[in-house]
Structure 1
Amino acid sequence: MFQTIYYSGDKQKDYDLLIRQLQALSDGEQDEIAVLSNASALLNQFLDNTNWVGFYIWKEEQNELVLGPFQGLPACIRIGYGKGVCGTAILEKKTQLVADVHQFPGHIACDGDTNSEIVVPIILDDKIFGVLDIDSPIHDRFDETDRIYLEKFVQTLQYYLSVPKTTS
């Protein structure tokens, strides 16, 4: 059973602990939705001053991202390629760290209370899988440490999402 972990307040050490928690929860699990669900819950309880934490999954045949597991208020269901912060992360295949979403060209306002955002693309075998999207009502909420460790979090997640599926 999973127990509550108390973080130390040292951002880097706490992110390392968070990644270890993701590993412990994901080890041996083959269902992508289960892994993503726990990942969003972990991030939601770990991060302060956020109002949405979740995933969008890439649907190549539709050329868009579709809402996946998340924590927060209801969200936009579909985001087109290159649209908004999430679509731009897919287009550029790089993390988008946005201090003020209202200054981001083409920002999609799913929640009017959001003021800053970080989006990390998830790439499996050189193919787009989706994005990790985190919103905050605080301007400039995310910094370089967040970017570095959320990218490490996604790298860990990519490992568990790429585990070969077995059939029984």
Structure 2
Amino acid sequence: MAEDLIINRNTTKAAQYESLLPQIEGLLDGETDFVANMANVCAALKEQFNWFWVGFYLIKGEELVLGPFQGPVACTRIRKGKGVCGSSWEEAKTLIVPDVDQFPGHIACASASKSEIVLPLIKDNEVIGVMDVDSEFLGHFNDTDQTYLEQVISILLK
């Protein structure tokens, strides 16, 4: 498949995801390298939604360690239960944070980040990492993002 995406921002958020999901499937089809696939997922999501930051952290020992991402430099290591990413890992659930300044223990990797969604990567009933998406706008993420980003993770993990 060609590596060009068809980007359409002049429609609803759900329609943007609906257009992007099959493109992500095509992009990952036949590629078995997990790091390469995470990198392309980040690039596709960043290109479509122009979020401030999108990336992955993978569990290594007792920490989340920075993986592929798109955006400004990021925190390299996060302990379990710390910040939004560490909390998502600890709770094994998606966390939507409309205002990161209101999240107890938020780790400010970038002061421009205002809202965040973090989704756990669960394989064989075990959290292996998280997908982290940040926006420079308050209240940017909602249930629509959760629904579709969980589908993106499902594509990535199959």
Q: Paired residue for 1:52?
A: 53
- Identity, in percent, stands at 46
Q: Paired residue for 1:75?
A: 74
One-letter amino acid of the structure 1 residue matched with residue 103 of structure 2? F
**1:120 and 2:132 are equivalent in the alignment:** no
- Once superposed, what is the RMSD of the aligned Cα atoms? 1.1
CA contact (8 A) 2:97 2:117 kept: yes
Deviation at 1:150, TM superposition (A): 1.0
Which contiguous aligned blocks of 4+ residues in structure 1 show a shift greater than 3 angstroms?
A: none
Tell me the TM-score normalised to structure 1 length.
0.89
Q: How does 1:140-155 map to 2 (within 5 A)?
A: 140-155=139-154
Which structure 1 segments of 5+ residues have no match?
160-168
Distance 2:16 2:90 in 1: 31
Q: How does 1:98-113 map to 2 (within 5 A)?
A: 98-113=97-112
Aligned-partner SS, 1:97: strand
Q: Paired residue for 1:5?
A: 6
Distance 1:105 1:125 in 2: 30
Larger Rg, first or second structure (1 or 2): 1
One-letter amino acid of the structure 1 residue matched with residue 93 of structure 2? K
One-letter amino acid of the structure 2 residue matched with residue 42 of structure 1? A
Which structure 2 segments of 5+ residues have no match?
none
Distance 2:130 2:7 in 1: 27
Give a deviation string over 1:94-122, Cα, whole Å, max 9, x none.
00000000000000000011110000100
CA contact (8 A) 2:63 2:78 kept: yes
CA contact (8 A) 2:5 2:44 kept: no
Tell me the TM-score normalised to structure 2 length.
0.94
